[in-house]
Chain A
Amino acid sequence: MIKIDPIQLARLGSLPIKARVIVEGALSGMHRASVHGSSVEFAEHKEYSPGDELRHVDWKAYAKVDRYYVKQFEQESQLVVYLVLDASASMSFAGGGLRKLEYGGYLLAALAHLVINQQDKVGLVACGDRKLETVVPPRARTNHLHDLLGVLDALIAKGGGGDESIAAALQRIAEMTRRRRALIVIASDLFDAEDQTLEAIAQLRAQRHDVSVLHVLDPHERTFPYDGLTQFESLETSHKLLVNPVAIKKDYLERMEAFLARCSTQLAAAGVDYHLAMTDQPLETTLLELLVARSRLGPGRRAS
C-alpha cells in the first residue's frame, strides 16, 4: 500500500482526483476487495412451493434435475450510503497539518467514489451552520458523484462555521431513511456541548441503520503541546481563556482521554463502527481500516 502524507495529498488537484488517489491507495493494500460490484447477490436454492414468484425459478436447474427450484437472494435493493460531514467551526482547527474538516471531507469523498463505482446510492449531509444546511440526496449515477464532490469541495473550501451539533442532522437523516435502512458514515470531532451526538448516533443504530463513525481529531488536541502564557479562543463561541498550558495540561489530557474512552465505549455498546482518525494519519490508512472493519462485520451487518 502506498501511503501518502495528508498534507501532500491536499496539494493534489481537484477533489475527485484526491478521492480516487485515496481509494486506489487503499485498495492497493487489499488482496481482494471486500466490497462487491453488485448489490443483488445469489444466496441459495429453495424447492419451489406454490406462491413463489415464477421469475425466480431456476430453469437451468430444472433442465438438469427435472425439479423446480427457486433462487433466493440476500439483498434485493441498492445500498444507500449517507455521508455526514460535521462542518461546524470546531472542525476548522488545524494544529499544524490538515484541518479536521479537510481530513474528514477527503475521507468521505473517497467513500463516495467507492460507492458510486459499486453503483450504489450515495448522499451527503453537512451540518454545522444552522442556516446553511447542505443536503445532497442519494443517487447512483456517475454524474451524481461529480455533483456530490463539488458540494463537498465547496464545503471544504469555505471552511467550518457555526456551532450546530450534528445530532440535529442525524435526526433529519433518520427521518429521511425511515422506510429503508442505510449505511451512514459520520465524519466529526464529536465535540458537543450538550452531549447529544452520541445519543443520536445510538438512535440511528437502534433504527437498524448501519453506522460508522470517523472520529476526526487533531494530534494537538490529544497531546496539548503548548507552553508559555497562552490565550485560547474558542472556534465556535466567543469564549477566551488566558492560561499557562503547562499548569492545566495534565488535567486536560485526562479529560480528553476520558472523552475518547466514553465515545468508544458508548458507540461500541450501541453497535456502531467507531474509528479514531487523527489528521496526521495517512488518509488511505484510515479508509482501509474502515473498509477492513466493515468487511469483518460480514454480510449481515452490511446495510440492506
Chain B
Amino acid sequence: MGFLAPFMLVGVIGLAVPIAIHLIGRRRAKIVKFAALDFLLATKRRTARRLRLRERLLLLVRALACAVVALALAKPYTSCERKGPQVTRGPQAAVLVVDDSFASGYLVDGKAWIKRAGDEARRILTQLGPEAEVAIVRASEGADHPTELTRDHLRLRDQLLALEPSSRPADTTRALARAAQLLAASSHARKTVYLMSLLANTGFRPDDPPWGKEGPAIVVLDLRPPKTPNLAVTALRVDAEPSAGSRGVAFDAEVGNFSDAPAKVELSLAIADRVVARGNLELRPGERKTKRFLAALPAGVRSTDAQVSLAGDALSLDDRRWVRASLRDQVRVLLVDGDPKTVRRDDEVFYVEAALRPGDRDDSGTSVRVIQAEELSALDPAKSKTALDLNEFDVVVLANVAALPVDRVAALAAWVRAGGGILVAPGDRVDPAAYDRTMLPLLPQSLSDPIDTTWGASPEDRDSRALHLVKWEADHPIFAPFSKDGTELAAAKFFKISLLGPTTATQDRKVLARFTNGAAALVEASIGAGRTLLFTSTLDRDWNDLPIQTGFLPLMQQAMRHLARKHAVGTDSDHVVGSSVVLPTGDLKRIEVRGPDGLGAVFEGDRIAGRSLVRFGKTDRPGIYKVIGTDQTNNTHERDELDFVVNLDPHGSDLTPAPATALPASGSSAGTETSDNTRRVELWHALAAAVLLLLLAEGVLVQR
C-alpha cells in the first residue's frame, strides 16, 4: 500500500485530540455538593457499565474518525492483479463479439454461459465510457450483424441483456471478420475487438483468417470454464425394419462424447411424444457410437415424429434430435404379362408378382395389377370404353411383351417422361428387330439377339456354362440391400440373355450390373423426369433361376422403389437450423408452416399462385415443423406428408478448445497499451465512507 499525499499522515496526530478533550473534560468537571447522592449512586450502579462502555466507544469512534480523516487525506492506494482485460476509457472504436451459438447455453454453476458473457460485455461497455463507439456482433452462424458503430450505449446494453443462445453453431471467424470491417470504417485511432467466446475449435477457420496485418487489436476474454464435457445426439436415421413387423422401423441414433472422460449415456426414444424405448451406451473419450432402436409405428398412421434424447448434461440443446418416420408409400405397379399361362407358376409374371406382394398382404408396400399385353390398347380412349389411366401407376413392367404399336409406345413414353418408371425384360416373345422399330423410346439401348450359353451342352454341363452376376453397383439404391460379394445374387444362374445393341436417345445411361461374360445385365437410363430399366433376361425361370434365389425379392422390391422414386423412410440430415425447406404446393392455395415455438410463415396469394414449390427459410429452432394446407375447395387440414423436422448442426456440439494459433493476432491498428498487468486501487473513497459512518455512529452514541 502507498500514499499519494503522505505528508497528510501528520494529521494522524489528530488522534490525540479527542483523547485530550476526554481527559481535560474529566478535570474540568463542575463540582456540585449534592444531598441525594445515594440516588445518583444507585442510578450510576445500574447504568455504570453501559455508560462506561458508551464513553469508551465514543472516545474510540472520535479517535478513529480523526485518524481516518488524516488517512483519507493522504490518499492511500494499493496495487492488485488485473481481473479481466485492461479497458481504456475514452474515445475509441470497439466491437464486442459475443458467442451466441447454441453451445453458449452451456450451464456453468447453474447459469447459462451466455449470461456470464453478457455480464462481462456490459462491464466492458461501462469501462469504455460514453465516448466510445461500440457495436455488438453475435458469433453464431448466420447471425444478423450491425452495420455501423454507435454511441447509443443504452441500446447496446439492452441488446446485451436480451442475448440468448441461438440454435446455430459458432462461426467466430466470420464474426471477427465483420468486427474488423466495422472497425475499419471508424476514424478512431484505437480499434479493439473484445472476444467473449467459448473458443470452440469448430468456430474457427484457420485457413481463412478474419483480418491481415492491418487488423484491429483483439482482446480475448478468458470466460471458458476449465472443462466443457458435452454429450450430444449427433445424428438420427430411420429405416424400415421388416424384422420388427410390417410397421417396424429402426432408429439409428449416433451419440458423441465430446470430453476427455468416458461417459455412460442413457438414451430414450419417443414416438409421437411417448417414450417407447430406452437404452444405454458407454462411450470412450471423443468416441461416437450408434445405438439402434427397433420400434413399430402406431397403428393407423403412416408417418409420425420421433425423437431420441439423452439424459441432460450441461448443454441440453444438443441432447435431442428429431426425425420424421414414415412407412413406405405403396408403390403401384402395372405388370404387363407378355406370356400368360394357365399354370400359375409358368406365367411370365408369377414370380414378380409374388416378389412384390409376398404373402399377398396389403402391408407389403406394393400394389400390383396384372394385365395382358393386349389390354394396353385401353391406353387409347378412342379404342376402349374402359380407358387405362397410367397415372394410377408408378411403375410399369413389360415382361416378355412383344413389341407394342407406336401409339402405345408413345403413350407409355409420354407417361415415363412425366415421371413414370418402366422395367423392360425380354423373353421368347420379344423380337429384337420389332423392338428396334417401335420400342426404342422406352429403352436405354436397343436389343440384339439373345444368346443361349447352354446351347448344345449336356444337362451335366448346363449349370457350369451358365452366366452369373458378378459386377453390380453396390452403391446404387437397387443394390443397397446386397453386399458386394453377396451370394443372394451371385448364386443365380443365367442360361440365356439378350445382348444389347446401340444406345438410344435416353440420358444418363448406366450399366448397373454385368454378367460373367461382361454382357450388361441391368441398364438404367433417364427419360425426361422418368426412368427406364432394361433387364437382359427374363423375369420368370425361362432363361434363368434368379426368381427362386433369395436375392430376387429384394431386387424386385428395390427396383420398383427406385423406379417409383420412393426410397428412404426418413433421415434427419434433411434440414439443419438455418437451412431452407422446399415444399411442393400441389393443389394447395394456402400453406401455413408452424415451427416448434408456434411461429412460422404463411404462403398465400402471390406467394403461392402459379408456383409448384415454395421455399420456407425460418428454420431458426430445432424441432418439428407442421404444415397446414388449404386446397381449392377451402378445405383446410394438416398435411402430415409435408411435415418436416429441423435439427441442430452437430458440429457445434464439439467444444474442444481452439489452439492459440487459431486465434487471430492483433493487427497494426491496435492502440498502444501498457503491458503492466497490475492496477492501482485507490482507497480514499472507502475511507471517506468510513468517516461518514463513524460520524453517524458518534451521533447515535451521543444521543443515547
Residues of A within 8 A of B (CB): 90-93, 100, 189, 191, 193, 218, 221, 226, 228-237, 239, 241-244, 247-248, 251-252, 255-256, 259
Contacts and interface: CB of A to CB of B under 8 A. Distances in A.
Nearest to A247: B51
A248 B37 CA distance: 12
Interface of B: 25-26, 28-44, 46-47, 51, 54
Contact of A231 (B32, B47, B54): B32
A251 B50 CA distance: 13
Interface centre among A90, A189, A233, A248 (most CB of B within 10 A): A248
Contact of A230 (B30, B36, B41, B46): B30
A239 B41 contact: yes
Contacts of B39: 252, 255-256, 259
Contacts of A239: 37, 41
Contact of A235 (B33, B40, B42): B33
Given A243-B44, A243-B51, A232 B38 contact: no
Contacts of B37: 232-235, 237, 239, 241
A231 B35 contact: no
What are the nearest 6 A-B pairs in CB distance?
A93-B35, A90-B35, A229-B29, A234-B37, A251-B43, A232-B34
Given A100-B35, A234-B34, A242-B26, A255 B42 contact: yes
Given A229-B25, A231-B30, A191 B35 contact: yes
B303 to A, nearest CB: 90
B30 A229 contact: yes
A230 B43 CA distance: 15
A218 B34 CA distance: 10
Given A229-B25, A229-B28, A230-B29, A235 B34 contact: yes
A247 B40 contact: no
B43 to A, nearest CB: 4
A233 B33 contact: yes
Given A243-B40, A259-B39, A248 B32 contact: no
Interface centre among B26, B32, B40, B47 (most CB of A within 10 A): B40
Contacts of A191: 35-36, 38
Given A230-B29, A242-B26, A243-B40, A251 B46 contact: yes
A241 B41 contact: yes
A210 B31 CA distance: 41
Given A191-B36, A191-B38, A239-B37, A231 B29 contact: yes
A41 B38 CA distance: 48
A149 B381 CA distance: 164
A241 B28 CA distance: 14
A228 B30 CA distance: 8
Contacts of B41: 239, 241
Contacts of A247: 47, 51, 54
A233 B40 contact: no
B65 to A, nearest CB: 20
A256 B31 contact: no
19 contacts: A189-B35, A191-B35, A191-B36, A221-B36, A228-B29, A231-B29, A232-B37, A232-B40, A233-B31, A234-B34, A234-B37, A235-B37, A236-B35, A242-B29, A243-B51, A244-B51, A248-B43, A248-B47, A256-B39
Contacts of A244: 51
B18 to A, nearest CB: 14
Nearest to B31: A231
Nearest to A252: B43
A289 B43 CA distance: 33
A267 B574 CA distance: 110
B622 to A, nearest CB: 75
A92 to B, nearest CB: 8
A230 B35 contact: no
B44 A241 contact: yes
Contact of B32 (A232, A237, A259): A232
Contacts of A221: 35-36
Nearest to B43: A251
Contacts of A189: 35
A218 B36 CA distance: 10
B257 to A, nearest CB: 75
A252 B40 contact: yes
Nearest to B42: A255
A237 B33 CA distance: 11
A189 B28 CA distance: 30
A129 to B, nearest CB: 16
Contacts of B29: 228-231, 242
Contacts of B31: 230-233
Given A93-B33, A191-B35, A229 B26 contact: yes
Given A233-B34, A256-B36, 17 more contacts: A92-B35, A93-B33, A93-B35, A189-B35, A191-B36, A221-B35, A229-B28, A229-B30, A230-B29, A232-B31, A232-B32, A232-B37, A234-B34, A235-B33, A235-B37, A237-B37, A241-B44
A261 to B, nearest CB: 14
A71 B648 CA distance: 134
B630 to A, nearest CB: 89
Contacts of A255: 39, 42-43
A264 to B, nearest CB: 17
A243 B35 CA distance: 16
Contacts of A235: 33-35, 37
Contact of B34 (A91, A93, A193, A259): A93
Interface centre among A229, A232, A252, A259 (most CB of B within 10 A): A232
Contacts of A233: 31-34, 37
A237 B41 CA distance: 12
Nearest to A228: B30
A252 B39 CA distance: 6
A191 B39 CA distance: 10
A221 B38 CA distance: 12
Nearest to A249: B43
A236 B38 CA distance: 10
Contacts of B28: 229
Nearest to A89: B35
Contacts of A251: 43, 46-47
Contacts of B51: 243-244, 247-248
Nearest to A250: B43
A255 B26 CA distance: 26
B40 A248 contact: yes
A96 to B, nearest CB: 12
Nearest to A255: B39
Contacts of A92: 33, 35
Contacts of B43: 248, 251-252, 255
B41 to A, nearest CB: 6
A244 B26 CA distance: 10
A253 to B, nearest CB: 9
Contacts of A193: 38
Contacts of A242: 26, 29
B39 to A, nearest CB: 5
A197 to B, nearest CB: 13
Given A256-B39, A259-B39, A248 B34 contact: no
